[in-house]
A and B are shown apart, each in its own frame.
Chain A
Amino acid sequence: MVVKCESRVSGKVMVVKRIKKMPSVSGDASDEDEAGADQGFPVRYLREACLLRACNHPNVMKLEFVTYHEGQIELFSEFVGLNVEDYISSLSDEYFTRNKQKHEWVLQLGRYFMKQVLKGIDYCHSIGILLRDVKPRNFLISSDGTLKLTGFVLARFSLLPEEPLTQQVVTLSYRAPEIILGGTYPVYTAPVDIWSAGCTFAEMITGRTLFEGDSEIGQLLKIFKLLGTPSDCNKSFCFEVPSYIELLPQWQPQSLSERLEGLCDEGVDLLSRMLLYHPCSRITARDALKHPYFQGDHSLMKT
């Protein structure tokens, strides 16, 4: 449960994430991880709290403090505001229709937001945090237009894990192909966040989810239909190529500029670099911030 509150001492407005009371004996909790029934302090909230606590950046939501009282954990964070997904949903179709004045605003806003998305991701990667759940819903917009990254429940420390990582990360629509195709020994790292950021970028420009599959295979088909069926060279991005991949049609890559109507050539180029199949070839957050798309003065003009 997340509620808004105000400190009686400082007057500061915060949000408090209240985790239901952890039972003191094992076995009477419906969700083991939520309740931490037999593991002590619940893993997901431990990671969320510790990783948020490690961050100190204007584009990452600040965790103020954590309390634990009579089995209930509360995470107090700064109050930010609406998330990007809800903000996009609140805009009418006119904002996403080419040649309309309002579309120009969305294109400006996309660049303005995307720079902040990448700054937040770059910061997290630089301190060894792999986010694993980058999506519009996990970016909050503050009243001054600053974007704040949140949603650290699936994040983990260490960009060079020595053990296999779970495939059950990242909301399916934003999940990188190397996670879906990871086989029995999934090894993935920072580029998975860049793939998700690319999907987020496209969604901010078009108002629609870029790849919306209803299953893992469905998701792959959506990706391959737009970006082309991976070549033999690109198939090496995963450890095990499932046999069904060979049975798929050989789709040719579609034009991203047609899909993202109105987005300038630099923007399309940046997106294409964020959505490269091979994780090692995919642009890093730091290099993306140096991309020509972000060069020059692109301050937000109000319409």
Chain B
Amino acid sequence: MVNHVSNLTNYLNLSGLFVHISTLYMDRFFSKMPVSETSWRIYASACLLLAMKMEGPATAGTPTDLVEFMVDEYELTIEHVKIAELQILKVLEWSLTSPTMLHFMDVYKVGGIYFSDDLKMTKGVPTHLDNQDRICVWEYVSFFCDLAIQKQEFMSCKNSLKTAAAIAASRACLNVTPLWNERLARMTHYNMSEIFECFYRLLQIFREQYPNNFPVGISSLLEDFGMPL
């Protein structure tokens, strides 16, 4: 389903935020309302439609474009689309304002997730983070957030916790030390022990799915936690 929405957002030239918002709606809707094999695409698309309306204005595709797509692709009328939207709204009790991981990422951006006293271990030598590292930290966080929405096992975790775990995983990938500190704990309201399970799974999935891109050195870092990958 996430792939379906992701393809639609690509088709409509929308940002990843819309995938995250729609996934949030889908997780809640499909967990309460089983739908048939033939109609899940309609509801998944309607979740994206609601996300576009709540988050808009989009710079690219508009809700009208998506409605046209749904009408053509699924042989629906506009009234059918409205009914699908209303069914979702009813099941979600008109509550469409839950923050996604990307919303938390924005909040954490304001607070900052790397610090002047952070060190990166390069071939055993501690160095300060350069501009490229600072860009990479955010790219990794974004990557881990995208990874988390694809896996059902993370559904029960809070988005704030998953984002905090993504930050820790990002710092781990760049070999930043300390992995977690008091300032990050204060900002995210999570300490390392609370996010560890999610952090650990994110890294495991990363290694399983992208073994060639998995940074060396993480395994030894996790061994320090007594949790080798």
- CB–CB A127/B97 < 8 A: yes
- CB–CB B17/A162 < 8 A: yes
Q: Which one of B5-13, B60-68, B150-158 contacts A?
A: B60-68
- CB–CB B82/A160 < 8 A: no
Q: Which of A24, A38, A40, A157 contacts B54 (CB 8 A)?
A: A157
Inside 8 A of B82's CB, which chain A residues have their CB?
A: 22, 36, 40-41
Q: Which of A43, A162, A163 contacts B53 (CB 8 A)?
A: A43
Name A11-45 residues within 8 Å CB distance of B: 22, 24-26, 36-41, 43
Q: Which one of A46-54, A137-145, A209-217, A262-270 contacts B?
A: A46-54
> How far apart are the CA atoms of A181 and B95 in the complex, in Å?
34
Q: Is B220 an interface residue (CB 8 A)?
A: no
Q: Is A87 an interface residue (CB 8 A)?
A: no
Q: Which one of B73-81, B112-120, B160-168, B179-187 contacts A?
A: B73-81
Closest to B46 in A: A40
Q: Is B215 an interface residue (CB 8 A)?
A: no
One digit per residue, 1 when the CB lies within 8 angstroms of any chain B CB and 0 when it does not, for chain A 179-211 equals: 000000000000000000000000000000000
- CB–CB B97/A39 < 8 A: no
Q: Which of A41, A160, A163, A166 contacts B86 (CB 8 A)?
A: A41
Inside 8 A of B53's CB, which chain A residues have their CB?
A: 39, 41, 43, 46-47
Inside 8 A of B78's CB, which chain A residues have their CB?
A: 24-26, 37-38, 40
A26 CB to closest chain B CB, in angstroms? 6
- CB–CB A128/B81 < 8 A: no
Name B3-26 residues within 8 Å CB distance of A: 15, 17
Residues of chain B having any CB pair with chain A under 8 Å: 15, 17, 46, 49-50, 53-59, 62-64, 67-68, 77-79, 81-82, 85-86, 89, 93-97, 99, 102-103, 106-107, 110
- Known A39-B67, A50-B97, A158-B103; judge A163-B81 contact (CB<8 A): no
> How far apart are the CA atoms of A51 and B94 in the complex, in Å?
9
Inside 8 A of A53's CB, which chain B residues have their CB?
A: 93-95
> How far apart are the CA atoms of A208 and B87 in the complex, in Å?
46
Inside 8 A of A166's CB, which chain B residues have their CB?
A: 57
- CB–CB A68/B86 < 8 A: yes
Contact residues on A (Cβ < 8 Å of other chain), bracket: 20 to 34
> How far apart are the CA atoms of A57 and B12 in the complex, in Å?
37
- CB–CB A49/B94 < 8 A: yes
* SS of A interface (majority): loop
> How far apart are the CA atoms of A165 and B55 in the complex, in Å?
10
- CB–CB B15/A24 < 8 A: no
B95 CB to closest chain A CB, in angstroms? 6
In addition to A39-B62, A66-B89, A158-B99, 17 A-B residue pairs with Cβ atoms within 8 Å of each other are: A24-B78, A38-B67, A38-B78, A40-B63, A40-B78, A41-B82, A41-B86, A43-B63, A46-B96, A47-B53, A50-B94, A50-B97, A51-B97, A68-B86, A128-B103, A157-B96, A163-B55
> How far apart are the CA atoms of A16 and B55 in the complex, in Å?
26
- CB–CB B103/A163 < 8 A: no
Inside 8 A of B58's CB, which chain A residues have their CB?
A: 163
Inside 8 A of A157's CB, which chain B residues have their CB?
A: 54-55, 96-97
Closest to A45 in B: B53
What are some 21 contacts across the A-B interface (CB < 8 A)? Answer: A24-B79, A39-B62, A40-B63, A40-B85, A41-B85, A43-B53, A43-B56, A46-B96, A49-B94, A53-B95, A66-B94, A71-B79, A127-B97, A128-B97, A129-B97, A158-B99, A160-B106, A160-B107, A162-B106, A165-B57, A166-B57
- Known A40-B67, A50-B94; judge A163-B57 contact (CB<8 A): yes
Inside 8 A of B46's CB, which chain A residues have their CB?
A: 40
B30 CB to closest chain A CB, in angstroms? 19
B59 CB to closest chain A CB, in angstroms? 6
- CB–CB A40/B49 < 8 A: yes
Inside 8 A of A43's CB, which chain B residues have their CB?
A: 53, 56, 63
Inside 8 A of A163's CB, which chain B residues have their CB?
A: 15, 55, 57-59
Residue among B15, B58, B59, B94 having the largest count of chain A Cβ atoms under 10 Å: B94
